[in-house]
Amino acid sequence: MQITQDKVVQIEYTLTNAEGEVIDASEGHPLAYLHGHGNLIPGLEKQLEGKSVRDKFKAEVPAVEAYGEINPALIQQVPREMFQGVETIEAGMRFEGQDENGNVQAVIIRDADEEFVTVDANHELAGHDLTFDIEIISIRDADEEELDHGHAH
């Protein structure tokens, strides 16, 4: 069986960035996903297409097909008083906030002084070219409920 639309696939993966640092790895707990439903980043899903069980390969995914390029519009200066009750704010800290629509949004602090805080709502992997070492563990047909939900169970 090969990986095609509507297959549930289990993969072992190790994700490294352009500097060769390991960012994430399945480490014996394979990731199950439903193929062809946008559950993985587009560049990875594309390279998984047509693979078979036990295939091992390296997938190089450019930023634009991974988490996208850095969007400067998502980097904003906000008044320090928006962080009332937070004693220390430093570059590198992470916060979860809500946008106007009430969606939870993770931001990372890029800079802070007494008046203003620079927050970056880009995905932390935006702008990064990624490399995945992949092994295909299993492939099966999705059941109706999974197709209905658009994800693997």
Binding residues for Zn ion, rule: CB under 5 A, are 149
SS3 142: coil
State in angstroms the smallest separation of the CB of 66 from Zn ion.
Answer: 25
State in angstroms the smallest separation of the CB of 10 from Zn ion.
Answer: 16
Give whole-number Cα distances, 114 to 79, 100, 101, 106, 119, in Å.
Answer: 9, 25, 28, 22, 14
Q: Which is nearer to Zn ion, 34 or 139 (CB)?
A: 34
State in angstroms the smallest separation of the CB of 7 from Zn ion.
Answer: 16
Q: Which is nearer to Zn ion, 8 or 112 (CB)?
A: 8
Q: Which is nearer to Zn ion, 11 or 142 (CB)?
A: 142
Q: Which is nearer to Zn ion, 115 or 145 (CB)?
A: 145
State in angstroms the smallest separation of the CB of 42 from Zn ion.
Answer: 22
d(CA 87, CA 141) in angstroms, rounded, equals: 52
Give whole-number Cα distances, 97 to 82, 94, 109, in Å.
Answer: 10, 10, 12
Q: What residues have CB less than 8 Å from 145, skipping those under 6 apart?
A: 153
